[in-house]
Amino acid sequence: MKNVFAEMFNRKASDPKNKPDKIIEAISLKPGQNIADMGSGGGYFSLRFAKIVGEEGKVYAVDTNSHLLDFVKKSAKVKGLDNVIPITASGDSLDIPEKSLDFIFMRNVTHHLKNRTKYFEDLKKYLKSEGKIIVIEYSQGKLFSFQGIFGHYVLKEIIQQELKKAGYIFKKKFDFLPDQHFTIYSKS
């Protein structure tokens, strides 16, 4: 079950510096809800979400890397979580029922997307009418930081403009993350 990349992603996500407990608390996920973890990586948040939503809820672990999804699937099985559904992202559609999600969670993913506004528009069909999209993305950082060297960031203002253009309504921002911005938007 060893996967070096999945384990690295999970170590970074679980690092107390990245405040995973505060992120979970801020989302206010409840039993019975459905959430898609876009760019789930090693599944750290997918597995935590699965415990919260319980048997009545579903967690769609979405990634482009099937090896990471295999790791998530095996990890969920070891933990006795039957509500984690791995989804390989490819093309324009996902194997998620339309109007079924309470939340779409995107952590450190948006900098990988080419046409974010269209991508955000396309995601709307999966959200319930009161559904929300959660975006956590790297801030610019210093020139010689990981984000600066590799361009792994999107400015908060750009994300806000793109989501507004895609028809989302800004709801909330959180300022407790040291290297990232954290915002929530609603479909309506």
pLDDT single digits (tens) 61-93: 999 999 999 999 999 999 999 999 999 987 667
Give the sign of the dihedral formed by CA 119, CA 9, CA 27, CA 135.
negative
Instruction: Classify burial at 4, counting beta carbons within 10 Å of its beta carbon; exposed 0-12, middle 13-18, buried 19 or more.
Output: exposed
pLDDT at 135: 92
Residue type, 79: K
The values of phi and psi at residue 21, to 5°, are -65, -40
Instruction: Evaluate if residue 20 carries a pLDDT over 50.
Output: yes
Pairing of strands 180-186, 101-107: unpaired
pLDDT at 1: 57
User: 38 - beta bridge partners?
Assistant: 62, 106
CA-angle at 100, arms to 31 and 40, nearest 5°:
75
pLDDT single digits (tens) 148-171: 444 455 677 888 889 899 999 999
pLDDT at 152: 56
**DSSP assignments along 62-129, one per residue:** EES-HHHHHHHHHHHHHTT---EEEEE--SS--SS-TT-EEEEEEES-GGG-SSHHHHHHHHGGGEEE
pLDDT at 72: 97
pLDDT single digits (tens) 91-145: 667 899 999 999 999 998 776 568 888 888 999 999 999 999 999 987 655 544 4
List domains and CATH numbers for the chain: 4-186 (3.40.50.150)
- For residue 155, give the 3-state DSSP assignment: coil
Chain centre to alpha carbon of residue 111: 13
- For residue 187, give the 3-state DSSP assignment: coil
- Edge-to-edge strand order for the sheet containing 101-107? 84-88, 58-63, 34-38, 101-107, 127-138, 180-186, 169-174
Region 27-38 average pLDDT = 97
